[in-house]
């Protein structure tokens, strides 16, 4: 059979060879996964699909995501791993170390440190997530509109952000929150959103200015697309990546800021259970009962590190320059 094929090619000359090559190319194109097939290689690729593929292969992302997932679960259902009451205290056990059923010991009021550490995750995660959402939405809207329309609106927003960037965060918290009597999380969230949105606004403004200069935006404008359609359908999806990266990293920063303000006595207040409150209460017992400080401080450090690692992994996946 091979002899017949060779004879046929020889008899027909170059034309037979070209016909055979064309038939082979057609069979490859029609195969699953080929250029004309319906396999995985034929699926359209985008920045988000490439980023997700890279994230699934990144051990830093997997580890940080598992830690954050665990924190979210215990924030919603702390009773899964802590059956005690964080507000139930026994002064007779104050400052005592680890005991059966109480692996982290007791604090200065005789409260179980393990239970308070577990329940403290709820407050920290809630403050961090809500603050990040508020900052991302407010900053993205204001910065995106300023970058898209430009002109006086852009100049006004730039001057406003300069003013907010000049306010020291801790000093501003001491001034703003010292006059608030509420013990809920909302004043702390409102303060951090108030001082956090300018950073996201600048990132969103720069991303929108870069995206609106692309050819597909010019084509959409030439075809008569409205400003809202260009902004929502063409510009926003391609300008969100930097905002997501910065917001993810900032989430851990907001958790640390809440703990700092609570430590200074102007953030969350008892009876709210917070790592910052527990660290502040344990600071005076650091020599006699270091376990009171180490466990909530360790949980806070692990949480902040997990969100920063997650943000770094997302940044590496969404940055085309690193591909």
Residue 185 clears pLDDT 80, i.e. is over it: yes
pTM, 2 dp: 0.79
Residue 38 clears pLDDT 50, i.e. is over it: no
277 vs 221: which has the higher pLDDT: 277
- Residue 76, pLDDT score: 92
HEC string of 72-141 equals HHHHHCHHHCCCCCCCCECHHHCCCCCECCECCCECCCCEEHHHHHHHHHHHHHHHHHHHHHHHHHHHHH
- Residue 4, pLDDT score: 47
Confidence category of residue 1, pLDDT binned at 50, 70, 90:
very low
Percent of the chain residues topping a pLDDT of 90 = 38
Residue 5 clears pLDDT 50, i.e. is over it: no
- Residue 320, pLDDT score: 60
- Residue 181, pLDDT score: 77
Residue 40 clears pLDDT 70, i.e. is over it: no
Helix axes 169-177, 236-263, angle to 10 degrees: 60
- Residue 126, pLDDT score: 93
Q: The tokens 């306010």 sit on which residue?
A: 167
| Identity of the highest mean pLDDT range in 126-135, 164-173, 283-292 | 126-135
- Alpha carbons 191 and 198: distance in angstroms, whole number: 13
Chain segment 264-289, per-residue pLDDT in tens: 888 888 888 999 999 999 998 888 88
- Residue 44, pLDDT score: 60
82 vs 214: which has the higher pLDDT: 82
In degrees, rounded to 5, the angle at the alpha carbon of residue 109 between the alpha carbons of residues 108 and 113 is 75
150 vs 254: which has the higher pLDDT: 254
Q: Which of 35-49, 153-167, 196-210, 267-281 has the lowest mean pLDDT?
A: 35-49
Residue 14 clears pLDDT 70, i.e. is over it: no
- Residue 62, pLDDT score: 94
Residue 82 clears pLDDT 80, i.e. is over it: yes
Q: The tokens 């179980």 sit on which residue?
A: 112
């Amino acid at each position: 059979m091979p002899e017949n094929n060779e004879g046929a090619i020889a008899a027909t000359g170059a034309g037979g060879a070209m016909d055979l090559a064309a038939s082979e190319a057609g069979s490859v194109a029609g195969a699953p996964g080929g250029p004309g097939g319906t396999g995985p290689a034929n699926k359209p690729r985008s920045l988000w699909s490439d980023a997700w593929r890279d994230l699934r292969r990144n051990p830093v992302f997997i580890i940080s995501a598992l830690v954050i997932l665990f924190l979210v679960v215990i924030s919603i259902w702390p009773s899964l791993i802590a059956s005690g009451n964080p507000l139930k205290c026994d002064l007779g056990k104050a400052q005592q170390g680890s005991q059966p059923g109480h692996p982290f010991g007791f604090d200065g009021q005789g409260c179980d440190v393990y239970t308070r550490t577990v329940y403290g995750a709820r407050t920290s995660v809630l403050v961090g997530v809500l603050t990040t959402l508020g900052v991302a939405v407010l900053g993205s809207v204001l910065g995106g509109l300023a970058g898209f329309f430009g002109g006086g609106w852009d100049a006004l927003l730039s001057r406003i952000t300069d003013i907010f960037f000049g306010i020291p965060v801790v000093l501003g918290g001491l001034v703003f929150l010292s006059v608030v009597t509420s013990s809920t999380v909302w004043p702390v969230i409102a303060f951090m959103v108030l001082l956090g949105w300018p950073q996201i606004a600048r990132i969103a403004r720069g991303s929108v200015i870069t995206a609106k200069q692309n050819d597909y935006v010019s084509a959409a404008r030439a075809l008569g697309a409205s400003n809202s359609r260009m902004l929502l359908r063409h510009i926003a999806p391609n300008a969100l990546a930097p905002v997501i990266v910065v917001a993810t990293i900032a989430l851990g920063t907001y958790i640390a800021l809440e703990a700092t303000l609570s430590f200074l006595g102007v953030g969350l207040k008892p009876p709210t259970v917070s790592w910052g409150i527990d660290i502040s209460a344990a600071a005076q017992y650091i020599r006699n009962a270091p376990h009171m400080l180490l466990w909530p401080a360790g949980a806070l450090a692990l949480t902040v590190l997990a969100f920063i690692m997650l943000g770094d992994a997302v940044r590496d996946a969404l940055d085309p320059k690193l591909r």
